[in-house]
């Protein structure tokens, strides 16, 4: 199996062409160049410097099907110190956790909690082509490969997350999991190419939820499954929370529907087999500050006198996972 070199997407583009997903293969070079443009993102040279400090390790094992995506490798104390410093140079780490040669990257989100809530309730990923929208550094992409996916394309516009992906890929070296700097709204139209499309934690950041849901539908192959995770409120069909200014200190939350409203949106866009597979209140064990993400997190976003409410007095974050097919 060929080595995957840092920032080299040629294997992904070749694979997309083999699978006849040619519009995406053709579009990627331009989006990669734009998404990693140092004139737009001044921190990229600093992050590249951190990547250049990652030591070469003799990897003996990789595990993708456990809570911590992990790499086993023998290394000296000097190499461990160098590895820790380089990885910390890519702070903050949002989604994980990871374990690289014994260094535990304790990310802000315990993304394994979310994975455990859905992994046994969705269609099998064995041999599937998967799109993961807003994937961050790629934690769930590797878990999807661990669940048998043939190819996972993760998209995220945040250049730091792309850098974190490549730091991890230096050791994971997995040709089935990719993260590219791309927004869903910039994807080629009507691809109809993926067996499963994940959108987790994205819908409420979009000004038009219908546009996002239509984009997700257009990316799915016939009989493909959508796995949608988003903030929800208690309420009847038609009820929606439109936060004024901020929600849980986030300024880019536009709509939070009730679960029946969310299902109605999916029906309107002609999704079938709509099923709510989980509703959970986000806990401070699942989202919190750590040494690897030292900024404010969920406990700072909730009312200290009433943890059932945000600091703005809205209901505390609850999340639903809904699956549907086309």
The tokens for 176 are: 């089935």
Cβ(196)–Cβ(122) under 8 Å? Answer: yes
Indicate the pLDDT class of residue 2, thresholds 50, 70 and 90: confident
| Helix H or strand E segment including 62 | strand 58-63
Mean pLDDT in residue range 250-261:
97
Superfamily of domain 10-325: Vaccinia Virus protein VP39 (3.40.50.150)
Q: Are 194 and 23 in contact (CB under 8 A)?
A: no
Give the pairing type, strands 194-200 and 129-133.
Answer: parallel
- Cα 115 to Cα 278: distance, rounded to the nearest angstrom: 11
Residue 91, both tokens: 């702070």
Q: By C-alpha distance, which of 47, 29, 25, 51 is closest to 38?
A: 47
**Residue ranges per domain, the chain?**
10-325
pTM here is: 0.97
Render pLDDT for 69-84 as a digit per residue (tens, 0 to 9): 999 999 999 999 999 9
Q: pLDDT digit string (tens) for 272-314?
A: 999 999 999 999 999 999 999 999 999 999 999 999 999 999 9
Tell me what the mean pLDDT of segment 203-221 comes to.
97
Which tens digit of pLDDT belongs to each residue from 213-229? 999 999 999 999 999 99
Q: What is the mean pLDDT of residues 144-148?
A: 98
């Amino acid at each position: 199996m060929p080595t995957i070199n840092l920032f080299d997407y040629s294997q992904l583009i070749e694979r997309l062409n083999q699978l006849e997903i040619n519009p995406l293969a053709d579009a990627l070079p331009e989006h990669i160049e734009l998404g990693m443009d140092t004139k737009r993102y001044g921190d990229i040279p600093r992050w590249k410097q951190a990547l250049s400090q990652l030591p070469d390790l003799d990897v003996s094992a990789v595990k993708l099907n456990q809570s911590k995506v992990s790499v086993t490798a023998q290394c000296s104390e000097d190499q461990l110190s160098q590895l820790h410093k380089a990885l910390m140079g890519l702070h903050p780490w949002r989604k994980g956790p990871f374990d690289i040669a014994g260094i535990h990257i304790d990310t802000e989100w315990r993304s394994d909690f979310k994975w455990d809530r859905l992994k046994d309730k969705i269609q099998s990923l064995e041999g599937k082509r998967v799109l993961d929208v807003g994937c961050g550094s790629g934690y769930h992409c590797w878990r999807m490969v661990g669940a048998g996916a043939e190819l996972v394309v993760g998209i995220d516009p945040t250049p730091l997350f792309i850098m974190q992906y490549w730091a991890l890929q230096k050791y994971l070296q997995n040709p089935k999991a990719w993260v590219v700097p791309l927004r869903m709204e910039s994807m080629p139209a009507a691809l109809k190419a993926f067996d499963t499309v994940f959108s987790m934690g994205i819908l409420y950041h979009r000004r038009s939820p219908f546009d996002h849901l239509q984009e997700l539908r257009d990316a799915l192959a016939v009989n493909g499954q959508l796995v949608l995770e988003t903030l929800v409120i208690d309420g009847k069909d038609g009820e929606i929370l439109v936060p004024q200014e901020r929600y849980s200190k986030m300024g880019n939350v536009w709509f939070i529907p009730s679960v029946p409203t969310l299902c109605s949106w999916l029906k309107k866009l002609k999704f079938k087999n709509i099923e709510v597979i989980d509703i959970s209140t986000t806990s401070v064990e699942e989202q919190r500050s750590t040494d690897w993400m030292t900024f404010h997190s969920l406990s700072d976003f909730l009312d200290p006198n009433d943890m059932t409410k945000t600091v703005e007095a809205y209901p505390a974050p609850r999340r639903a996972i809904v699956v549907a097919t086309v």
